[in-house]
Amino acid sequence: MALMETAEESGGEGYFASVSDMMVGILFIFLLLLTVFALNFKQAEREQKVEFAKYVEAQKRASEAEIRARESEIIAQREAELSAASKAENARLKALLFDAVAQLEKDIKDREAARGQLLLSLQRSLSDKGLTVTIDQASGILRLPEDLLFKTGDAALGKESVARLHTLAKVLAGILPCYVHGTDTSECGKVVAPILETVLVEGHTDRQAYRNTVVPVAPQAPSGNSLFGNPTPPQPKVIIVNDSESRNDRLSTDRALNVFKEIRLAQPSLDTLRNSDQQPLLGFSGYGPRRPLPDALGSSQAEFQKNRRIDLRFVLSSRTSDELMRLREQILKSIER
């Protein structure tokens, strides 16, 4: 009986020992699993934080991209508005410029037409008084042939020439006041056009040469000896001078000056005429043979005769009209905006 009890007690302790070991093993496994779980959790948490950071960064970039897109859209809209405004302004300025050019062309044509009417009036009036002249409307010239005024190679005015110039001066004094500033235009009728800058009396000659001028030179004292010991006699010397051009220049200028003086003497009222700058209207110049007529470039006597002439050149004023000045001010104001 005692042996059996001892055996039974021994078997019970072994059973409990095995359960304890098993519980320890289970606990160890549990702790191991818990540790693994904790490590996995931390790793997952770190990954989640990384992903969240990536998400936040992506959201930030998306917001920045959206802001930039909006800014770009606003800038593009503003640029489009500025471009449209610039195009509209350019179109307006272009229209103003076209108006100015059209007005300028009209102004030039009107002035040239008025000058043409002036030349025709002078030609008709002179013709009625027996003085035949030619006109060039394109150049604004009234032409007096030399044979009406001067003898060949001479600048002096004869009695008949003076009478013709008095006729010319009277016609000029009656018509020119209608075409300049600051004069009484009550007798001009509808023809009132202050267009003239100056009226030049121009002298011209042909290109025929004057005879050579022989200028003697005083003999020099004897110098050296001859073969026989006598002094060498002085040799007479001359200098041949061709001063045709300078003499033609003087001749053309003297002729223009004499005509200029005579018409002013005949009609003192011509001296009172002024242009828009209040400068005297009349003037004179000499060109010698340097401005031949286009249809008289040859060497015939008829062509030479055509080039021996006095021209009255009617120069148009460069002043613009009031309308052009108004357009100019508008354009300048538009540019300054």
Q: Does the structure show a pLDDT above 90 at 68?
A: no
Q: Running DSSP on this structure, what letter comes out for residue 189?
A: T
Whether residue 275 is contained in a domain is answered as yes
pLDDT attached to residue 1: 47
pLDDT attached to residue 13: 55
pLDDT > 90 in the chain, percent: 34
Number of domains in the chain: 1
Q: Which residue has the higher pLDDT, 315 or 209?
A: 315
- Distance (Å, whole) CA 76 – CA 80: 6
User: Are the beta carbons of 182 and 266 closer than 8 angstroms?
Assistant: no
Q: Does the structure show a pLDDT above 80 at 325?
A: no
Q: Which residue has the higher pLDDT, 329 or 4?
A: 329
Whether residue 158 is contained in a domain is answered as yes
Q: Which stretch, 20-24, 56-60, 260-264, has highest mean pLDDT?
A: 260-264
Q: Does the structure show a pLDDT above 90 at 271?
A: yes
Q: Does the structure show a pLDDT above 80 at 239?
A: no
With a CB cutoff of 8 Å and minimum separation 6, the contacts of 65 are none
Whether residue 333 is contained in a domain is answered as no
**Structural domain boundaries, residue 121:** 112-218+236-325
Q: Considering only 48-62, 65-79, 102-116, 309-323, which range has the smallest mean pLDDT?
A: 309-323
Whether residue 55 is contained in a domain is answered as no
Q: What is the mean pLDDT of the chain?
A: 81
List strands edge to edge, sheet with 309-316.
Answer: 134-136, 141-145, 309-316, 196-204, 282-286
pLDDT digits (tens, 9 = 90+) for 283-308: 999 999 999 999 988 888 888 888 88
Whether residue 292 is contained in a domain is answered as yes
Whether residue 287 is contained in a domain is answered as yes
pLDDT digits (tens, 9 = 90+) for 14-41: 555 577 777 777 877 878 877 877 777 7
pLDDT attached to residue 126: 95
pLDDT attached to residue 3: 47
Whether residue 3 is contained in a domain is answered as no
Q: 34 to each of 19, 27, 125, how far by Cα in Å? A: 22, 10, 133
- Distance (Å, whole) CA 51 – CA 43: 12
Q: Which residue has the higher pLDDT, 292 or 187?
A: 292
pLDDT attached to residue 106: 84
Q: Considering only 86-100, 207-221, 244-258, which range has the smallest mean pLDDT?
A: 207-221
**Maximum alpha-carbon separation in the chain:** 201
**H-helix segments, the chain:** 2-128, 159-175, 244-266, 301-307, 322-336
Whether residue 251 is contained in a domain is answered as yes
pLDDT digits (tens, 9 = 90+) for 193-238: 888 999 999 999 988 877 656 656 666 555 555 445 555 555 555 5
pLDDT attached to residue 337: 59
With a CB cutoff of 8 Å and minimum separation 6, the contacts of 205 are 248, 251, 252, 288, 289, 307, 308
Phi, psi of 276 (to 5 degrees): -65, -20
pLDDT attached to residue 11: 52
Q: What is the mean pLDDT of residues 121-143?
A: 94
pLDDT attached to residue 24: 75
Crossing angle of helices 2-128 and 159-175, rounded to 10°: 130
CATH number of the domain residue 120 falls in? 3.30.1330.60
Q: Does the structure show a pLDDT above 90 at 167?
A: yes
